[in-house]
Structure 1
Amino acid sequence: MPHPLRSAAFLTCLVLPEGAFAHDWYPFTCCSDRDCHPIAETEVTAGPKGWVIRRTGEIIGYDDERLQQTPKQAGNSFHLCTTDGKPDGKTICLFVPQFGS
């Protein structure tokens, strides 16, 4: 007789959409997997002192520990992690894609 929990776990894996784990690469120090999201390139600009988050005016310095490189599996896009995942929340981490070759 099959174990009911094992069967339920198997069925759950079959039913979950592929995108359910799309952002599982975010490090624990940046979010609880709900505070981070991709943002448009137009929402961030490179300034003389660092990356400027347009909606909040925050500057994330080029040597700031909150600045990280977007990993290859996440594509070539910006990702922003904010307090409670709020669009205007304080920045926890900013992921920047690799530019150039």
Structure 2
Amino acid sequence: MRNSTAMPFHRASLAAVFFALILLSRPVSAHEALPTTAKPLGWSYPHSCCSGIDCRRVSDKAISERPEGYVINGTGEVVAYRDGRVKNSPDGVYHWCSVAGADDSRTICLFVPPKGY
């Protein structure tokens, strides 16, 4: 014999999951940075930096600093601190925009966390 009280609870649970998925499944545009804990809803890359595939979040280990500027560790490219391609990162993490999104191409934009972040 089936438990009649379990059925309404099961339907309510399924409905709650369904509505949560609808609310949380927000499409991300190609120019939108992925959400982080610092800024959960993400932010949009400027069109001057991204043609839909050029930008991505990178780890702190992917970028280092020297007296002459930021170093893209994968390519060895140095982007001077005062270079116009250097931008403040709205979510406090590094984002690197490179030609065609390739790991071995030149920098279009580099989003860096503020020093006090």
**1:91 counterpart = 2:110:** no
Runs of 4+ displaced beyond 2 Å: 14-19, 21-24
Which structure is higher in RCO with an 8 Å CA cutoff and minimum separation 6? Answer: 1
CA 1:41–1:32 in 2, change beyond 3 Å: closer, same or farther?
A: same
Cα offsets for 1:53-81 (capped at 9, x unmatched): 0000000001101111112xxx2100000
Tell me by how many angstroms 1:17 deviates.
Answer: 2.7
CA 1:33–1:15 in 2, change beyond 3 Å: closer, same or farther?
A: farther
5+ long unaligned stretches in structure 2 = 1-21, 34-42
Normalised by the length of structure 1, the TM-score is 0.75
Say whether the 8 Å CA contact 1:36–1:82 is kept in structure 2.
yes
Tell me what 1:77 maps to: 93
Instruction: Report how many residues are paired.
Output: 85
Tell me what 1:59 maps to: 78
Normalised by the length of structure 2, the TM-score is 0.65
**Amino acid corresponding to residue 77 of structure 1 in structure 2:** V
**1:25 counterpart = 2:25:** no
Separation of aligned partners in 2, 1:63 and 1:99: 14
Say whether the 8 Å CA contact 1:43–1:54 is kept in structure 2.
yes
**Amino acid corresponding to residue 26 of structure 2 in structure 1:** E
Structure whose CA Rg is larger = 2
Cα offsets for 1:13-46 (capped at 9, x unmatched): x599336244251001111132100000011011
What SS is found at the alignment partner of 1:20?
A: coil
5+ long unaligned stretches in structure 1 = 1-13
Alpha-carbon RMSD across the aligned residues, in angstroms, is 2.0
**1:68 counterpart = 2:87:** yes
